[in-house]
Amino acid sequence: MSLSAAEWERYARQIGPGVLSRAGQERLKRSTVLVTRVGGMGGPAAQALVMAGVGRVIIAHGGAMISADLNRQVLGSETGIGRLRAEHFAARLRELNRFVAVESIDHEPDDAEADALAERCDLLIASPPNFAERLRLNRAAVRAGKPLVDAAQWGLGGTLIVVRPGETACLACVYPEEPPFEEFFPVVGAISSTIGSLAALEAIKILSGTGEPLFGRMLVYDGLRGIPSLVALRRNAACPVCSASSPNR
Ligand SMILES: [Zn+2]
Rounded distance from Cα 151 to ligand 1 centre (Å): 17
Would you state the pLDDT for residue 145? 98
Closest CA to 141 of 223, 248, 69, 63: 248
Rounded distance from Cα 162 to ligand 1 centre (Å): 12
Residues with a beta carbon under 5 angstroms from ion ligand 1:
170, 172-173, 239, 241-242
Q: CA–CA separation, 179 vs 115, rounded Å?
A: 23
Would you state the pLDDT for residue 179? 84
Q: CA–CA separation, 148 vs 174, rounded Å?
A: 14
Residue 74 has a CB neighbour count (10 Å cut-off) of: 20
Global pTM value: 0.96
Rounded distance from Cα 14 to ligand 1 centre (Å): 34
Q: CA–CA separation, 54 vs 49, rounded Å?
A: 6
Rounded distance from Cα 72 to ligand 1 centre (Å): 31
232 pairs with which residues across the strands?
217
Would you state the pLDDT for residue 178? 87
Rounded distance from Cα 238 to ligand 1 centre (Å): 8
Is residue 83 within 8 Å of 70, Cβ to Cβ? no
Would you state the pLDDT for residue 182? 80
Tens of pLDDT along the chain (249 residues)?
689 999 999 999 999 999 999 999 999 999 999 999 999 999 999 999 999 999 999 999 999 999 999 999 999 999 999 999 999 999 999 999 999 999 999 999 999 999 999 999 999 999 999 999 999 999 999 999 999 999 999 999 999 999 999 999 999 999 988 888 887 889 999 999 999 999 999 999 999 999 999 999 999 999 999 999 999 999 999 999 999 777 665
Would you state the pLDDT for residue 247? 66
Rounded distance from Cα 75 to ligand 1 centre (Å): 32
Rounded distance from Cα 16 to ligand 1 centre (Å): 36
Measured CA to CA in angstroms, residue 21 lies from 48, 135, 231 at distances of: 18, 34, 30
Rounded distance from Cα 44 to ligand 1 centre (Å): 27
Domains plus CATH for the chain? 24-232 (3.40.50.720)
Rounded distance from Cα 142 to ligand 1 centre (Å): 8
Is residue 169 within 8 Å of 233, Cβ to Cβ? yes
Would you state the pLDDT for residue 244? 77
Supply the DSSP string of 113-171, one letter for each residue: HHHHHHHH-SEEEE--SSHHHHHHHHHHHHHHT--EEEEEEEBTEEEEEEE-TTTS--H
